[in-house]
Structure 1
C-alpha cells in the first residue's frame, strides 16, 4: 500500500492532487446543472472556444488563463448575440462559434513554428505543473462558484423546471441562464490547466452523471459529484504515475469511467435488493361455497 501511495509524497503531485480536487468540486457543482439543463454541447464549445485566446496569450507573453477567460467570455456573449439578433437556435449558434473558435485557434497555432509543446499543454492540460499561484486562483474560483450557485439556486431550479413559470414568479429566467452560462465558463477556464481544453467536459459530465445514479436531489448530487470527481483525480494521478501516461488525460478518462462504474454498481445493487426483498405470500384459503 505504501508503494502504491508513494507518488503523493512528492510535492508537485500533492499540488496536482489539491488543484485537481478544487477543480473537481467546481465541476461537481456546475456539472450538475450542465447535466440537468442539457448544456453539454455548450460546455464542449466553451472548452474549444478558449483555444484562440490561450494561443494568442501564449505567443504574446500574457498569462494563458487570462487569454482563456477572455476567449470563453467572447464565446458566451457571441452565442447570446446570435440567438437574439440572428434568430438562430441555441445548438446552431453554438455550433457555428464552436467551429469558428476551434479553427481560429488552429490557425494561430499553425502560424507559429515553436508551438508544439504549448499546444499539447493547451489541449491536454498540465496538472502536474500546477503551482501555488494556480491553487490560489482555483480557490478563488471555487468561492465564486459556491456563492453564485447558492444565491442563484432558486432561479436555476425554476429555470430548469419551467422557464415560463419562473418568469411569472419574477425570477428572471434570462438572467439566470446568463449567470449559469457564466458559471460554465468559469468551470471550463478553471479546469483548463488540469485537463486541457479537449478533456475538460469529462470533468464536468462524468462525476455528475455518476452521482445522478444515486440521488435525485440537486444539492446532494453536487456534493456526491464533487466527491467522485476528487476520487477520480486521485486515482487518475496514481494510474498516470505507475503506468507512465499523460496525467491530465488519465484523470479525465477516470472521471468519465466513474459514470460507467456508478451505473454498473447501481444496477448490481438494485438486482441484489430485488433478490433479497421479502415476497408477500398469500395464505391458502378454502374456496367459498354458495
Structure 2
C-alpha cells in the first residue's frame, strides 16, 4: 500500500494528479469528436502549431497560454482557409502548415539563451510543475468544454455522421465545425503545459479511441474516456515516481498501452463470440 500511496502524499504530485484528471476530462470531451470524425492528424498538427506562439510569448515575456491559444487558432484558421481556397486535400494543407508552424517555432526558440531547456519544456511539458493557478485555469477550461459539449452535442453528432443532414436540419455545419475546432484548441492549450505539445495527442486520442472499443453511445464514450485518462494519470505518476521516468511521457505511454491492451481484449472477445455463434449454428 505504501508503494501506491507514498507518492500522492507529496504536494506537487497531488497538484499533478488534480491537473491530470482535469486535462483528462477536457481531452475526453474534445477527443471523442476527434476520433469519431477522423481528425487525429489535425489535432496533432494543432498541438505542434502552438509552438510559434509559445516561443514568441516566451521571448517577449508575455502570457504563454495566450500565445499558445492564438497560435493554435491561427493553425485551425489556416487549414480551413486553404481547404476552401485551393484544390489541395485537407491532409496536404495540414501537412504544409504543420511543417511551417513547427519550423517557425524552432527558429523563434533558437533565439533564446536557454534553447534546450525551453524547447524541452514546450515539447514534453512538466506535469509535476503544475501550480495552484494552473489548476484554476483547468477548472474553468473544463467547465467551458463541458458547456460547449452539451450545447453543441446535437450539431456535433450531425456533423460527425451526416453533413448533408446537418444542413437539412438547419444546424449550420460550418459554424458547428468552427466551434468544434475551438473546443479542440481549448483542449490542446489546456493540456500542453501538463504533457507538452508532442504528447498532448496521447491523452487527446488514446482514451477516446479505447472507449470506442467498449461503448457505442457518445456520452458513454466520453465518460469512459475521461475515466481511462484519469487512470492513465494515476498509473503514469506512480510509475514515474518509482522508476524515475519523465512524468508526462509516462502518462501518455500508459494511455496508449491501455488502447493496445483493449484492442487485443476486444479482438479475443469478438473471436470468442464468432466461435460461439458457429457452434450454435451447427448444433
TM-score normalized with structure 1 length: 0.92
State the partner residue of 1:62: 62
Q: Distance in 2 between matches of 1:181 and 1:49?
A: 13
State the partner residue of 1:161: 161
State the partner residue of 2:82: 82
Report which stretch shifted further, 76-85 or 253-262: 76-85
> For residues 228-275 of structure 1, what are the alpha-carbon distances to aligned partners after superposition, in whole Å with 9 as ceiling and x for unaligned?
000001100111111101111111111111111111222344455667
Question: How has the CA–CA distance of structure 1 residues 242 and 83 changed in structure 2, closer, same or farther, with 3 Å as cutoff?
Answer: same
Aligned residues: 283
Deviation at 1:78, TM superposition (A): 1.4
SS at match of 1:240: helix
Q: Distance in 1 between matches of 2:161 and 2:139?
A: 31
Q: Distance in 1 between matches of 2:59 and 2:115?
A: 8
Question: How has the CA–CA distance of structure 1 residues 246 and 278 changed in structure 2, closer, same or farther, with 3 Å as cutoff?
Answer: same
Deviation at 1:91, TM superposition (A): 1.6
State the partner residue of 1:151: 151
Gaps of 5+ in 1: 284-290
Gaps of 5+ in 2: none
Deviation at 1:113, TM superposition (A): 3.0
Q: Distance in 2 between matches of 1:272 and 1:279?
A: 11
Q: Distance in 2 between matches of 1:266 and 1:151?
A: 33
State the partner residue of 2:30: 30
Q: Distance in 2 between matches of 1:282 and 1:144?
A: 55
2:208 pairs with 1:208? yes
Q: Distance in 1 between matches of 2:199 and 2:52?
A: 17
Q: Distance in 1 between matches of 2:175 and 2:45?
A: 20
Q: Distance in 2 between matches of 1:233 and 1:87?
A: 42
Give the superposed CA RMSD.
Answer: 1.8
Q: Contact between 2:109 and 2:118, CA under 8 Å: does it hold in 1?
A: no
Deviation at 1:88, TM superposition (A): 3.1
Deviation at 1:280, TM superposition (A): 4.5
SS at match of 1:112: coil
> For residues 114-160 of structure 1, what are the alpha-carbon distances to aligned partners after superposition, in whole Å with 9 as ceiling and x for unaligned?
22212111000110000111001011111111111111111111111
Q: Distance in 1 between matches of 2:276 and 2:135?
A: 48
Deviation at 1:89, TM superposition (A): 2.4
Q: Distance in 1 between matches of 2:81 and 2:171?
A: 22
TM-score normalized with structure 2 length: 0.95
Question: How has the CA–CA distance of structure 1 residues 62 and 282 changed in structure 2, closer, same or farther, with 3 Å as cutoff?
Answer: closer
Indicate the structure (1 or 2) with the bigger Cα radius of gyration.
1
